[in-house]
Each structure stands twice: as C-alpha cells, then as structure tokens.
Amino acid sequence: MCLAVPAKILEINGQEAKVDILGIVKNISLLMIEDVQKGDFVLVHVGFALQKLSEKEAQKTIEIFKESV
Amino acid sequence: MDKPNFFNDFKNASYAQNILSKIRKFQNEITIMEFCGGHTHTIFKYGIREILLQNVKMRSGPGCPVCVTSNEDLAKAFVLAKTPNVILTTYGDMLSVPNEFGTLEKLKAEGFDIRTVYSTLDALKIAENNPNKKIVFFAVGFETTAPATAASILKAKEKNLKNYFVSSVLKFTIPVTIALLKSGEVKIDAVLGPGHVSTVIGSEIWNFFPQNYKIPCVISGFEPLDILQSVFLILKQIAENRCEVENEYKRAVLPQGNKIALKILNDVFEPASAFWRGFGEIPESGMKIKKEFSEFDADLVFNTKIKINEKNTACRCGEVLRGLIEPHECKIFGNPCTPENPFGPCMVSSEGSCSAFYKFNKNTILT
C-alpha cells in the first residue's frame, strides 16, 4: 500500500505533471511538493508526487554502498 | 558527480556483496522488526531474510494497511457497496480480502458497482462523470496514503461535488508501534523504520524509539541495497553502543517530512480510536474526518453500522501481524490458505507477510 516509485518529470502543467515511470507515462498531481522542474525525479504514490528525490543524496548513498570497512 | 540511477544502482549485486561482507563482520545475534509491508515484500523478494540468518533475524510487524483492517471496518465496505445508487471505489488489494460476507470481488461479480482505482483522483473523476450516483471511496492506508485521500476531500469541496464521500479506515502508524512495544510480547533489538510513511511524517518523529524504548531505528529505503545498508547501520550502532534514529533514505526522507502533505492530512483528519486486526482498539490511532468536512464522511451520511459475528477460524493473521509467529507456523499456510484462496488478509496483500512468504519463500522453512 505504501509503495511509491521514482518517476521523471517530463512536463509540468500547473499542479499536474506528466511523468515517466520506467517507460510508463502517467499524469500525476504536484499538489504536495514545491520547486520541481522538468527532468527532476519525484517519488510517486497513488497519483501524487510525495517528495522530490535528491540526486545528490542518492549519489552519496551509492558511494556509501561502495565503501569498505 | 555521476548521475544516480534511481532503479539499478540500488540493486547492484557487487555493492550488495560489499555491504554483506561488512554485515558479516558483526557477531551479535539480533532481531530487527520491519514495520512496513513494503519492506517485508522487498526482504522476501530478494531473499534477504535467508542471507542474514547467520546473525540477524528479521520479523515483520503490523505494517500492511490492508492486513490490519479489522473485520468490522471491512464489513462497512460491504454495506456501502450494497447501498442503492452507490459506486464503491477502493484500492485493488481490498477486493480479495475475505470476511464472513465473502469478498468485495464476489460482490462485484454479483453485479454491485465496485471499482478499483489507482488514485483518489480517479474516484473523483467517477463522481464527476456520474452525477446521479453516489461515489464512496473506501480509504485504507497509513500516513503515506492519507494525504491523497484528504486532498480528494478538499478537491471535492472546492468543486462543490455533492456525490463524493469517503469512508475512512486510515490509520496512524506510531500508536501501533507503541502498542506493540508496550505489550512486551515480542523482543525487538532494533527497528527498520518505514521509509515512505517517513517521507510524509519525517525521520525526527521516530526519536521515541531510542529515547523511550532504547531501541535503535534506521529509516530505510525500499530497494534491496537500502535494506542491507540499514541492517549494517543498525549492527554498527549496537556494536558502538549507540542508540539513535538514523536515516538511510535521505534521498526521499527529510527530518520534518513533507509539511504540505502533513498540513493537508491534518486539515481534514483528526485522531480517533480505531480497531486493528491482531491488536484490537488503539486510542488515537485512526484518522477520522473532521466535523467541517462531515458532508463527505460516508460513515455519517450512510448507515454503515453492522453487527458481525467473529467466527473462530484457523487463520492466525493477528499473531503474524504482532510478530509472534512466522507465516509458515500457521497450520493453514499453503494448504488451504494461498494467495489464490486466501483465508486472511496477510495472504492477500502483496505486502502481507504470508503472501510474500508464500510467493518467494514457500519451499524454505526458516528456523
């Protein structure tokens, strides 16, 4: 139920956006987030973007995965 | 800096090996509870329980909203679906959950107008396209899902829609985690914090785990590497004698969560007592529609009161949800209870531990 998936914003029309979820294009609501633009990644849950995904934090996490002890 | 790939980089096998080698350096035997059904699904799907068994035992908790919906609450959906002129809408998982009236799926097959929707926005569209019908959205979920339901009520008000209603069995997660810890029934050394609930409520709110219960908590993402890394962070905390909330899922979870989503949720809902499968009544754990939106509250507009007879079945979903037993310890697991023929909700939802265990793990008996 709490499944949320990363999606790339393709187009923004006011409070709505067209997003790409692994090749599936969907219209979602941007009501719950601010400061997003085309090309940004957002986390989508039941038709709403819940959070903008931070590419910087994602990259940091991946770097941590590679760290040795 | 390289551009991250939000899908593949978090499933990378060589990184997984690296994290695993770090995990295996710890000798302490611990039990970690994952409170989120999404985590349960990932853990079973990627065989994480088995690879960790050497020193870490993963236990599933009450983190599947479909599973914790009580029979009484589910019965309301049946009453609403049978109400003349009503179109009942809900998320897909709810249709297969059995109770003494059968399933919503069977009711739909009998001709009642029950429609699964991906989003509350779809339910609103059905309301706009069917002005002569009454559209009820049966709302199940936690804080992740609740803002979307609240937003639909705000939208219906804005559009002056008179034929859209919500029956809320939405729930807050924190009260049930406290109820579980207070019961003392299950020994937990650490908690894998729910990532997507936390995108809304934030990471800081979980500080009560270390502060009040001396239990470390790591908020985790949902990819397999997120979970392995979170387990590593938990083991590291314990080895270093630390007890705090850490956020592994920083790419999505902020300390304060999503303030807009929280405001929408709190504008429309207020805490009220709610019944949880396996737990019974938990004060302040339900999301009730506030008085100013009572015209949209299906439980007030329609008569949803129904008396149900709790039958004694062999289904042990309640104990599975409390982390007391593993799915395969239930006598009917796998025979006759299967995802095609579920006896309880934990075998229905993809986030239910019985369903995940059956799908990915049925040939392995965990010790």
**Digit-coded pLDDT (tens) for A18-63:** 999 999 999 999 999 999 999 999 999 999 999 999 999 999 999 9
The SS3 assignment for B192 reads strand
Q: Give the up-direction half-sphere exposure of residue B1: CA atoms within 13 A in the CB hemisphere.
A: 12
Which of B2, B197, B251 is nearest residue A2 as measured by Cβ atoms? B197
The CA distances from residue B71 to B169, B185, B288, in Å, are 11, 23, 18
**φ, ψ for residue A27 (rounded to 5)?**
-95, 135
The B residues from 111 to 140 touching A (CB cutoff 8 Å) are: 118-122, 140
pLDDT at residue B367, rounded to an integer: 40
State pLDDT tens for residues B240-296. Answer: 999 999 999 999 999 999 999 999 999 999 999 999 999 999 999 999 999 999 999
pLDDT above 50 (res A67) = yes
Asked if residue B135 has pLDDT above 60, the reply is: yes
Q: What percent of chain B has pLDDT over 90?
A: 84
Task: Assign B147 to helix, strand or coil.
Answer: helix
Task: State which residue of chain A sits closest to B94, comparing Cα positions.
Answer: A1
Please say if the pLDDT value at position B362 is more than 80.
Answer: no
CATH number at residue A60: 2.30.30.140
Report the topology of domain B67-172+258-300: Rossmann fold (3.40.50)
Nearest-CA residue of chain A relative to B151? A31
Checking if the pLDDT of B351 tops 60, the result is yes
Section B133-154 average pLDDT? 98
B32 touching chain A per CB within 8 A: no
**At A3, is the pLDDT very low, low, confident or very high (cuts 50, 70, 90)?**
confident
Taking the Cβ of residue B172 and every Cβ of chain A, the question of whether any pair is shorter than 8 Å is answered with no
Interchain contact, B36 vs A2, CB within 8 Å: yes
Residues of A in contact with B236 (CB under 8 A): none
Predicted local confidence at residue B309, as pLDDT = 73
How many CB pairs below 8 Å do chains A and B form together?
138
Residues B324-338, mean pLDDT to the nearest whole number: 93
Domain boundaries, chain B: 67-172+258-300
Nearest CA in chain B to A55: B4
Report the domain count for chain A.
1
Task: Tell me whether B173 touches chain A (CB under 8 Å).
Answer: no
CB-nearest to A58 from B4, B200, B264 is: B4
Give the span between the Cα atoms of B11 and B72, in whole angstroms. 40
CA nearest to A43 within chain B: B252
Full residue range of the structural domain in which residue A10 is found: 5-66
* Two tokens, residue B74: 């589910």
Per-residue pLDDT band at B366 (split at 50, 70, 90): very low
Q: Which of B2, B6, B120 sits opposite A41 (nearest CB)?
A: B6
Element holding B148 (H helix, E strand): helix B146-158
